Amino acid sequence: MFRILLVCMGNICRSPLAASVMHAHIARLQLSHAVEVDSAGTYAGHQGEKADGRAIKLALARGYPQIERERARRVQDEDFERFDLILAMDADNLENLRFKCPPEQQHKLHLFLEYAEIEDRREVPDPYYGNAQGFEVVLGLCEQGSEGVLKRVAAALV
């Protein structure tokens, strides 16, 4: 089983949206037997909370029901060993992960969009303090990014 962890700051906007999209893409590509995805945050202030209501509303409207099962959690030390790939939504969270990650696991850390090989953007912007349009942008990046990540992972699994 290949395990992917998607990471943002609070684990209530970007990473649960990305995980929900990726769950749907994994099912569509019939990779459920080979790929597992989870999400977490570098900040524990929302521990146990559901995703942001704006993220839930948008994800459900676009056909990503996994969002309702997502609950915020903080990245744990054991995540660096458990997951094969750890993808941060932005450079600040990637830096936080690098600081916490043991040296022998550093190779697993990447930016989500760079790993997905999306050339025109490096980071998924944080929509938390914005409006619904910001969540639309984030969901579009998560859809595009998830496809790219799974394309790379599926090719490596063959």
Q: Which residues are catalytic?
A: 8, 14, 126
Quick one: 26 exposed, middle or buried, by C-beta within 10 A (0-12, 13-18, 19+)?
Answer: buried
